[in-house]
Structure 1
Amino acid sequence: MYFRREKGFTPTTNTRICSWHFPMGKVAGPTRFEWNEGKRIDCSSPEKRMRISTPSKKHSDLLTTNSECATSTRIHAENDDVEEMKKQIAIFRKRVLAYEKEKEELRSDNIKLKQANHKQFIDSFKDSAEKIAMYTSLPDKKTFDIVVAMIQRFTVKYHSNWNVKILSIEDQVLLTLMKLRLNLPNLDLAVRFNVSTGTVTNVFLSLIEVMHAIFHTGMMVKKFLSLLKCRMSAPECFRSFPNCGVILDCTEVRTAKPDDLSKNCQTFSHYKKGNTLKALVGVAPNGTITFVSELYAGSTSDKAITKDCGILDLLKPGDLILADKGFAIHSILPPGVTVNHPSFLSNPQFTPQEVSANKEVSRARIHVERAIQRIKVFRILEFIPHHYRHLSRKIFQCASCLANLQTPIIQNAYK
């Protein structure tokens, strides 16, 4: 757009020329372009400029037609792009399915290879009763297979709903027994079984729950031996105590120091000079562990545990309890139930009759000490850390049940 100068125009120092019409400078003179020939733009008023710039109806129809054509072309192009994208997605899905199938095959092959390696680990000591006892506390491979078969009858609910497929049930039972018996670090077990430490933790926490439900809840709780069975299987040293139904004693296991001050005071044992958990163990005359209480704070007395644990509810009139001097439980016994323990020294010296009676009680009562010693063989009970405190009761009771699967403590029983 340009404006023509008026007639009689006199240039001044502020006057400028248009470079469009003087591309070679003022000396070359102005240049006119062919596309400007015959054109005249009248910019006398904005209204006229607006009328000039407004397209005609014919031009408007043409623009509308062109716009519709462009829109139709764009829609067809977009449809073609969508179809092409669908084809690409279908190809991609096929590739993903192929990769997933290959991944599952590789994982299956890896699991089979690891299970073969684990089987070799079991087979390396299955014929040695000494090695079986060292790793699992069980007397032989046959007993181990029985434990595995019993667990296989039930569905294992794994910790945090994390199912373990890389290890067979046989390997999981072996891992759990090795953890109980030897208290090996999780990293050591992970290396031995070629799994992660998380898998080791998952297997141990899950199998402890299953074993406790089977062996303790299902086979020991409220399965007290009758007085007739106790008489039939009692050894020679129990001839003086034909009515003995159970031998009682308490034992303690060390635990980590609680953060709470009140719990720290409750678990502190002056006898062990540290923080402990305490349990009551009941043993039949033939040496079988028939009762294991919950774990109490180490400062709890033997009498308080006996009263609270529920063993007195299992006794019947005529039953006799053998215990040591710490069980002053005469006042809490049910009607018809008696307790026999070594006599206290009331005179400067025991009489010959008291010495003989104390020896007989000690000879019979010693079997509960031997049974507790078998429980303490499980090294995981040497010290219970913070992260196993919530499972301490089940760990102790599982160890007690596994002790019953060992060879009998007493070989000679009279009929």
Structure 2
Amino acid sequence: MEKVFRYQKLMRPSSQHCCVPLCVVSARYNSAVSFHSFPVEEGLRKKWIVQIRRDDFQVTKNTKVCSVHFRADDFMEGTRLRCLRKGVFPTLFEWNHFQEQPPRLSVWERRERPLTPDPDSDVDEVMDFDVERTGHDYCSVPEAAAVDMVLHENSELKSQVEDLRKQLAQSKIIHRFGLQRFAGSDDDIRFYTRFATYNHLMAFWKLIEPATHRMIRSNSKVFKEPGNTRALPAVDELFMFLVYLSLGLKQKDLGHRFQVHQTTVSRIITTWVNFLYFVLGSVCIWMPKEQVRAHLPEEFHKFRDTQVILDCTEIRCQTPSSLLLQSEVFSNYKSHCTFKALNGMAPHERQ
């Protein structure tokens, strides 16, 4: 027991130990090992932490790294104490078997390079090897026939692309419910617009087209100034309005047909109602007196001053739920609610 006690007294009282993972070196039982503090320089200190593989590691003044993890040439010579050279960092660890790893080669250095050709070998063989390796000979010139074939193929592809563009444009016209879709059928024009033919509709369009640029477009209850963008061309807006009057389709149905929103359909209809009211309302529909007298029938020879024959008619309608509207449309003559209309007829040339 006395020998053990003396042996323990000879032990070093220092409690320094290495902070590197998997390292059990301590100053208590290793007098030949030196311990070194982390450098003060921030960049070098971070490199030390990365090298010892410690994440989120807090370095203090008592944190040490033993000399086992440094190379022999990392220490300064001629000093009594073992001091590290400036800028060195630990490189020897248990995970690399205390051996310094060779530097990692660059991509260019790792790439396999072609062998140096033998001076005695044929030059053509070397050139064939290079062409086969690279896949292309930049010194070769394409034959004239190959160039002509490529140009011919290029022209054919261009013509195919142009044909596909035309087909796409035609398919858009066919699938879009617009005036151009029915331009070739007078029966469809008569069904959708009540105009006799497509030419009659175009004649009417030419009369009102100059005034369309001054059209005041409506946005719900607010009227916008002229020059706003259109969801449809102006002639298709007219076609939509005529379809609405002729067939009485719902606005949602028109929106699906013309591929616009239902609100846009409502705005277009309101806009064209006001536009045609002012444009057509300013046109005088009465024949001049001289023309009326020139075409009076023989039955009116005693009434040479006749200009127009008036007649009133009533069309029976559904009884409104509003009492105010009932009082306005009720007819004592028909004893029912009716719509009243005043017709005016002027004499015209007999066919």
TM-score normalised per structure 2: 0.43
Query: Highest CA radius of gyration, 1 or 2?
Result: 2
TM-score normalised per structure 1: 0.37
Larger RCO of the pair (alpha carbons < 8 Å, separation 6+): 1
Give the number of the structure whose residues are more often helix, by fraction: 1
